[in-house]
Amino acid sequence: MGRQRTPKNVAAEPEPGIRGPVAGTFSTDTGTAVLIPDGDNPNGWLLLLNGVQSSHVDLADPLRLDFEYMRWIMALVQDRWNAGANLRTLSLGGAACSMPRYLVAAYPNSRNVVVEIDGKLANYVREWFDLPRAPLLKIRVGEAREVTESLTAGSRDLVIRDVFAGSKTPFALTTAEFTSAAKNVLIPGGVYVVNCGDSPALAVARREAATIAGAFKHTVIIADPPMLKGRRSGNVIIAGSDSPLGDGAGLPRALLGGAMPAQLWDDSKVRQFGRSALVLNDAEPQ
């Protein structure tokens, strides 16, 4: 869920197999992708999936992230690990691979796996954006929960969940059972980060906070003040780890930059926020 733009000059379905980005509407395995040039940036492209803004890519600068919530996640990551770290990351939800592409540039020694359910979209994205190749950036086509549950325990430093079907994360990727599976993939002290899309009522974020707090010793929330005060719909970043998160001055200072400054809630505030909410679990009727 990113900032809204109106598609302009969108072409009909282009011929497949063209290298490099081309404005147009593309049929994918799960619906429709629309690729739009960024009118404010000659190197920028915006990707919409089934009508929802999903990713922005700057071809000239992988360290430029147009979506604020992605900047917040990367600020959290860079507060934890220095640029020389041998990071092993798992990104659930690929779209245009904006954050994995950033991780490759920011962490040259990293190894990044992206799980994307839409194989046709994954092929398009590689053609459009000339993504780094494996082992730097590997796209694995599959369903996020199935892939996560199949991975070796303790094999990742960082797991990022940024999966949406429309404006919502599939329920199976929010539960305590899935959170436990994600934690199992992490090394001791590894970090699990989710992008939670919610309405002003913040009911989903409260339940996700309660669920993640139930699995990890330390949690944080990052979001802009209007979102946290229940004044709009948008993104709430929730992270969990068994090691402290954002306990210095660096991360709060970094989050104040950009067009939309964000707040950092520490573990006590996160637990207070989610205290009245029920932990999500697989047994709930859907």
In angstroms, the CA 87 to CA 100 distance is: 12
> Virtual CA dihedral for 134, 136, 137, 142, nearest 10 degrees?
60
Q: Enter the pTM of the model.
A: 0.93
Domains and CATH numbers, the chain: 68-274 (3.40.50.150)
Burial of 259 (0-12, 13-18, 19+ CB in 10 A): exposed
CA dihedral 15, 19, 21, 24 (to 10 degrees): 0
What is the arithmetic mean of pLDDT over 15-29?
82
Asked whether the predicted pLDDT for residue 180 surpasses 50, the reply is yes
**What pLDDT is stored for residue 138 in this prediction?**
98
Beta strands in 176-266 (DSSP E): 186-198, 218-223, 234-241, 263-265
Where residue 18 falls among pLDDT bands split at 50, 70, 90? low
According to DSSP, the residues that pair with 114 across neighbouring strands are 91, 139
Q: What is the pLDDT of residues 48-105, one digit of tens each?
A: 999 999 999 999 999 999 999 999 999 999 999 999 999 999 999 999 999 999 999 9
Among 197, 255, 234, 236, smallest CA distance to 76 is for: 255
Mapping DSSP to helix (H, G, I), strand (E, B) and coil, where does residue 107 land? coil
Q: What DSSP string describes 9-30?
A: S--S-PPTT-SS---EEEEETT
> Residue 115: in which H helix or E strand, if any?
strand 111-116
Find the mean pLDDT for residues 13-41: 85
- Pairing mode, strands 137-141 and 111-116: parallel
Q: What is the mean pLDDT of the chain?
A: 93
Number of other residues whose CB lies within 10 A of the CB of residue 148: 21
pLDDT above 70: percentage of residues in the chain: 94
Q: According to the model, what pLDDT value does residue 167 have?
A: 83
pLDDT tens sequence across 184-240:
999 999 999 999 999 999 999 999 999 999 999 999 999 999 999 999 999 999 999
